[in-house]
Amino acid sequence: MTEKEIDALLARAADLARRAAGGEVAYGPFLTPQEQRMLKIRLPQKQTPLFCGGYPDAERARAFFLPDYMAELDDDVRREVLAEALGEAVVPLLVKGSGFHTATHRDYLGAVLNLGIKREALGDICVLPDGGAVLFCDSVMATFLKENLVRVARDTVSVGEVTLPPDFNGGRSFKPLCDTVASPRADAVVAALCHLSRERAQALFARELVQMDYEPLEKYDREVPEGAVLSVRGYGKFVIRSLSDKTKKGRYRLIADQYQ
């Protein structure tokens, strides 16, 4: 993000925080993971919002700023109190086609944007393994989409609200990866994940093709923490599950999942 974009994001967050200080639950548009991270590190701790994207592992989420009387509550209690606001702000919709055509994430996104909707008005678009997709928006947008989203790519679709199971994961699937690396440095980890030499991995950083936690990663000697999300353009996206245990030879055991 540019400094100008960060300033605009923080200004919008400050306005929402002022509204929350006045006693209302305030929230803005859906934010990218990078925007969420920026709020977490730039806002004072007492102003850190609650993020919700409709399911536990959602990437895009709305930031909810809470009145003072709610800020001290535990997360579970706050979510119960916030149930009404969440129900208005984050609505899951099931988009179902005929079954004769396979639509991609790009197809669903393009169909919605062609209706004149801005990307920030939508949360995740989760393409399901058995066909169709679940997308997230607010209740007003849900009504609009149910009436106006009738085609995705070459297929006719129907749109309706859906109750998601507690274990909904966005339809994601992962390929488990295991290896050992000499150190937890980013270049060593990327080399192992992408089956490259250390030198070729370092070249990817120089070309700005590597992101960690949705931020460009320029220094290849930075250590990669457990839980980090690494995106390597042209190679894929990975979640680092473990990078702490050592072998008898002093190498680090790398356990990761690759998004499929």
pLDDT tens profile 130-143 = 889 999 999 999 99
Number of DSSP helices (H) and strands (E) in the chain, helices first? 9, 15
Residue scoring higher pLDDT (241 or 260): 241
Distances (CA, A) of 183 to 97, 188, 197: 48, 7, 14
Give the separation between CA 122 and CA 119, rounded to whole angstroms. Answer: 6
For residue 93, which phi and psi values (nearest 5 degrees)? Answer: -120, 135
pLDDT of amino acid 71: 65
The position carrying tokens 């936690």 is 213
A 10 A CB-CB count for 132 gives: 21
Structure tokens at 26: 């305030």
Checking if the pLDDT of 45 tops 80, the result is no
pLDDT of amino acid 145: 97
pLDDT of amino acid 70: 76
Helices (H), 114-174: 139-148
Question: Strand (E) positions, 32-168?
Answer: 50-52, 61-65, 91-96, 125-127, 133-137, 151-152, 155-156, 158-161
Tell me the one-letter amino acid at 153: A
Structure tokens at 203: 């070249």
Give pTM, 2 decimals.
Answer: 0.78
Give the separation between CA 87 and CA 54, rounded to whole angstroms. Answer: 9
